[in-house]
Chains A and B, each alone.
Chain A
Amino acid sequence: MEEPLEMPPGEESKPCSVSEELVTDPSLQVEISDAVSERDKVKFTVQTKSSLPHFIRPALSVVRQHEDFVWLHDTFSENDEYAGIIIPPAPPRPDFEASREKLQRLGEGNSTLTREEFAKMKQELEGEYLAIFKKTVAMHEVFLQRLAAHPVLRRDHNFYVFLEYDQDLSVRGKNRKELLGGFFRNIVKSADEVLITGVSGLKEVDEFFEHERTFLLEYHTRVRDTCLKADRAMRSHKSLAEDYIPISVALGSLGTQEVRQLQMSFLKLAELFERLRKLEGRVASDEDLKLSDLFKYYMRDSQAAKDLLYRRLRALADYENANKALDRARTRNKEVKPAEAHQQLCCHRFEQLSASAKQELTDFKSRRISAFRKNLIELAELELKHAKASSLLLRNTLIVLKGDA
């Protein structure tokens, strides 16, 4: 079964299935129907179908670039209104660097390769390039689809702009200052988190959140490590599959030059290795999609969940501080009213955040469980399929060779 080479309209060959419930809501359906790679930019065609009153037309289509997605994500994460929501992680930057480098090195005229080997390697690398391409499209699509599925986030104004505005969004990439700023913000945030939970004695009253915090911290670290290891294993597997190419070619040329009695054996072997290569390659890419991508996604999603917890803790700290300020104001009997108002505000905000966070975290858990379940089942089924195919292929070859002996 060959993977279709052109862009699939988002059905069976959708590689990234990290979230279950995204496909069905008819009131707002978003998908990336096409993508084009131009030099180092990828242009996504985002299609929206909606019955919601806000949209001008029931069906829209715009072209967006990766930076636009990042901009959209940042508007969400910087928006205080959404502090109690796990913001869907931004899709990773399309990275064809490695693949492009490999193709270039191949093209640079490596004279040790025969023409056959060259053609096969090229085919292999082109397949790889295409796979990366499909993956990046899927990642961007999932991001949008999660937004569309979220009851609160889908109503965001910027989201509408993103989906509707038919001109170029002209979102410039962050300049150095902004990037640096973002970098520092992250550091401050983690330091802050530590301070809040550690020194200031901020007591976590809610058992649920205490548990979640412990869980998420560890989980995030572990899933990041597993993601890394899965990636390495997958890449080894790819190298292995690629090794079959020169072996197959060498066997083929041996076959044509050998004595009559060995010709058939070598030619059959050459054919076998060529087909095994394809199978091994598929195993590697399935492992990539079902495992590596899964872990990667949940690494980012668990980070987003951690961010949510942080924001809640921040709100709690603000609430505590507001309480203290109120007490101080009461004892001094100065500016009690504003202090009271402020304290009320903080309390309200904190409680709202907590309630929202609770829901979000519960959703996160069920999302995670169903995604893992789906991917693990699919992984096992695919591994079985490939192993059975390989086994059959090998056994058939053995029958032929034994018959010839």
Chain B
Amino acid sequence: MAAEREPPPLGEARQPELEELEDGEDLFTSTVSTLESSPSSPEPASLPTEDISINSNGPKPAEIILDDDREDLFAEATEEVSLDSPEREPILSPDPTPAITPVTPTTLVTPRMESKSITAPVIFDRSREEIEEEANGDVFDIEINVSDPEKVGDGMNAYMAYRVTTKTSLSMFHKNEFSVKRRFSDFLGLHSKLATKYLHVGYIVPPAPEKSIVGMTKVKVGKEDSSSTEFVEKRRAALERYLQRTVKHPTLLQDPDLRQFLESSELPRAVNTQALSGAGILRMVNKAADAVNKMTIKMNESDAWFEEKQQQFENLDQQLRKLHASVEALVCHRKELSANTAAFAKSAAMLGNSEDHTALSRALSQLAEVEEKIDQLHQEQAFADFYVFSELLGDYIRLIAAVKGVLDHRMKCWQKWQDAQVTLQKKREAEAKLQLANKPDKLQQAKDEIKEWETKVQQGERDFEQISKTIRKEVGRFEKERVKDFKTVIIKYLESLVQTQQQLIKYWEAFLPEAKAIA
């Protein structure tokens, strides 16, 4: 499919980079073959290991740069890295550049190869749009339901199994309709895999629902009360929303792990998702380390777009949190109102019974009935308050955390690149020194190291540009989705409120003649 999409007039692209384009062409054909052959995605997975090794070597930039060498550093840098070169500018600044996967919907292309596409976005833009249009009928035709929570096992080893049903006409799946049984840790495992593969290259991976030790323990212990059924329902709905968001993401939809999750009847247990496992603790340590690092990274943001977005998401996060807290209070009070209304209804019924005037007695009983129905209404409204409004806000608060995470990854990527440049400089200095000292054997090693670091610097720049590109696109898609989501939810919520009021009108209209009948 890649071949036929390859537009012939490559020469129409930017002239100076023509020679690079040819390289790109080759790379793409090789990409296609690797894609078709590999069912899983090994390439992105290799990056993390690379990351780690570099980080451990990466020297802290500040102390080492010597004043007299500064000019040299930048002179050399412009040759290799050309960060702010004028040719690059127009490429980096336009809004969501879609040049990630120019040719196929399957987006398993690694960042390394993507860098070539930067040079000819115009062409691929066009083709990408065409593909999107054609694929629109195909890509989003998938519906996921999470249902039938079932308790499996006993005591502390018990767990809830949920049925995950997929209905789709997409060809990548073996059937059009199928369902599997999954437990909560399976979902966490899926998220963990997707996050590891895609987060650090700039994809906004929807976060999985949160763990709750208290909630789960109650369920395990077997308390069949309303709070544990509520907990299970809350979780079921959250899992459903999680999967629906994940499959809406065109890149993630292609992921084989996701496919396996939806399709295969047996799934290997994801033990690393347990909070107190070795992996869990490692995650916590890494999170802490990340937090510290973030504070020390001072990035020279050359792109105002990113700075703006950072600020925007920061604000949005704060606002949503505030709103979320207020809505949670609303839910709580509405539930209280419902309980108090029910108590009042009972009391009014008793009062009606003890009233000796017949008509008044009947009217009071009717009042009690109305209040009982209103109590039901309040309960339903509280339900809507929560599941429609409050949970959406909660989801978006977590999603924005994922966006911020992705922006942080970009910063780390930039840091890595800067560190590589510093190391390169040091190696060059070392080489210069060796030249003076005239140690031929060590000199060769130094030259090799320089070569190695030059590559790393190039790679760092490419990675950085790639992640920036991916993020732009992702954020664009995210915002579009968000606007749609919010609008839909707001309308749904308001409709629930209207429904409540309409019912109230009905009930009181029925009651009024009863009150008037008191003689």
Q: Assuming the A-B contacts A229-B343, A233-B343, A372-B518, are A250 and B351 also in contact, with contact meaning beta carbons closer than 8 angstroms in the complex?
A: no
Contact between B337 and A236, CB atoms less than 8 A apart? yes
- Of the stretches A53-61, A214-222, A346-354, the one at the interface is A214-222
CA distance A269 to B511 in the complex (A): 32
Q: In the complex, which residues of chain B have a beta carbon less than 8 angstroms from the beta carbon of A391? A: 498, 501-502, 505
CA distance A254 to B505 in the complex (A): 32
A to B contact number (C-beta, < 8 Å): 160
Q: In the complex, which residues of chain A have a beta carbon less than 8 angstroms from the beta carbon of B363? A: 372-373, 376
Contact between A401 and B490, CB atoms less than 8 A apart? yes
Q: Assuming the A-B contacts A226-B344, A250-B326, are A384 and B508 also in contact, with contact meaning beta carbons closer than 8 angstroms in the complex?
A: yes
The verdict on B327 contacting chain A, using a C-beta distance below 8 Å, is: yes
Contact between B515 and A394, CB atoms less than 8 A apart? no
The verdict on B418 contacting chain A, using a C-beta distance below 8 Å, is: no
Query: B351 touches which one: A226, A369, A379 (CB < 8 A)?
Result: A226
Residue-wise, chain A 187-217 has the 8 Å CB interface mask toward B (1 for contact) of 0000000000000000000000001000100
Q: Assuming the A-B contacts A239-B333, A247-B330, A398-B495, are A384 and B322 also in contact, with contact meaning beta carbons closer than 8 angstroms in the complex?
A: no
CA distance A226 to B518 in the complex (A): 20
CA distance A402 to B509 in the complex (A): 29
- Of the stretches A7-15, A255-263, A335-343, the one at the interface is A255-263
The verdict on A246 contacting chain B, using a C-beta distance below 8 Å, is: yes
Q: Assuming the A-B contacts A372-B363, A373-B515, A401-B490, are A383 and B504 also in contact, with contact meaning beta carbons closer than 8 angstroms in the complex?
A: yes
CA distance A376 to B495 in the complex (A): 29
CA distance A397 to B322 in the complex (A): 23
Residue-wise, chain A 255-279 has the 8 Å CB interface mask toward B (1 for contact) of 0011101100100010010001000
**Closest Cβ neighbor of B493 among chain A residues:** A269
Q: Assuming the A-B contacts A240-B333, A247-B327, are A226 and B356 also in contact, with contact meaning beta carbons closer than 8 angstroms in the complex?
A: no
CA distance A222 to B352 in the complex (A): 9
Shortest Cβ distance from residue B485 to the other chain A in the assembled complex, whole angstroms:
10
| Interface residues on chain B, size class | 35 or more
Query: B343 touches which one: A232, A265, A272, A380 (CB < 8 A)?
Result: A232
CA distance A383 to B373 in the complex (A): 14
Q: In the complex, which residues of chain B have a beta carbon less than 8 angstroms from the beta carbon of A229? A: 340, 343-344, 346-348
Contact between A239 and B518, CB atoms less than 8 A apart? no
The verdict on A186 contacting chain B, using a C-beta distance below 8 Å, is: no
Q: Assuming the A-B contacts A225-B347, A387-B505, are A376 and B515 also in contact, with contact meaning beta carbons closer than 8 angstroms in the complex?
A: yes
CA distance A239 to B338 in the complex (A): 13
Contact between A250 and B512, CB atoms less than 8 A apart? no
Shortest Cβ distance from residue B389 to the other chain A in the assembled complex, whole angstroms:
9
Instruction: Tell me the chain A residues, 347-392 only, with Cβ under 8 Å from chain B.
Output: 365, 368-369, 372-373, 376-377, 379-381, 383-384, 387-388, 390-391
Contact between B337 and A233, CB atoms less than 8 A apart? yes
Contact between B347 and A222, CB atoms less than 8 A apart? yes
Contact between B518 and A376, CB atoms less than 8 A apart? yes
Q: In the complex, which residues of chain B have a beta carbon less than 8 angstroms from the beta carbon of A269? A: 490
Q: Assuming the A-B contacts A373-B360, A384-B505, are A253 and B351 also in contact, with contact meaning beta carbons closer than 8 angstroms in the complex?
A: no
The verdict on A5 contacting chain B, using a C-beta distance below 8 Å, is: no
Q: In the complex, which residues of chain B have a beta carbon less than 8 angstroms from the beta carbon of A404? A: 487
Contact between B491 and A233, CB atoms less than 8 A apart? no
The verdict on A130 contacting chain B, using a C-beta distance below 8 Å, is: no
Q: In the complex, which residues of chain B have a beta carbon less than 8 angstroms from the beta carbon of A390? A: 497, 501
- The prevalent SS among residues of B at the interface is helix
Shortest Cβ distance from residue A5 to the other chain B in the assembled complex, whole angstroms:
27
The verdict on B197 contacting chain A, using a C-beta distance below 8 Å, is: no
CA distance A383 to B329 in the complex (A): 24
Q: In the complex, which residues of chain A have a beta carbon less than 8 angstroms from the beta carbon of B334? A: 240
The verdict on A395 contacting chain B, using a C-beta distance below 8 Å, is: yes
Contact between B344 and A230, CB atoms less than 8 A apart? yes
Contact between B315 and A257, CB atoms less than 8 A apart? yes
**Closest Cβ neighbor of B488 among chain A residues:** A405
Residue-wise, chain B 62-96 has the 8 Å CB interface mask toward A (1 for contact) of 00000000000000000000000000000000000
CA distance A401 to B495 in the complex (A): 11
Shortest Cβ distance from residue A210 to the other chain B in the assembled complex, whole angstroms:
13
Q: In the complex, which residues of chain A have a beta carbon less than 8 angstroms from the beta carbon of B482? A: 262
Q: In the complex, which residues of chain B have a beta carbon less than 8 angstroms from the beta carbon of A237? A: 337
A-B contact pairs, 12 of them (CB 8 A): A219-B355, A222-B347, A222-B353, A225-B347, A228-B347, A240-B337, A250-B326, A251-B323, A377-B516, A390-B497, A398-B498, A405-B491
Residues of B within 8 A of A (CB): 315-316, 319-320, 322-323, 325-327, 329-330, 333-334, 336-337, 340-341, 343-344, 346-348, 350-351, 353-357, 359-360, 363-364, 367, 479, 482-483, 486-487, 490-491, 494-495, 497-498, 501-502, 504-505, 508-509, 511-512, 515-516, 518
Contacts beyond the supplied A246-B326, A390-B501: 17 A-B pairs with Cβ under 8 Å: A215-B356, A218-B354, A232-B344, A239-B337, A243-B333, A254-B320, A259-B479, A262-B483, A272-B494, A372-B360, A373-B516, A381-B512, A383-B508, A388-B505, A391-B501, A394-B494, A405-B487
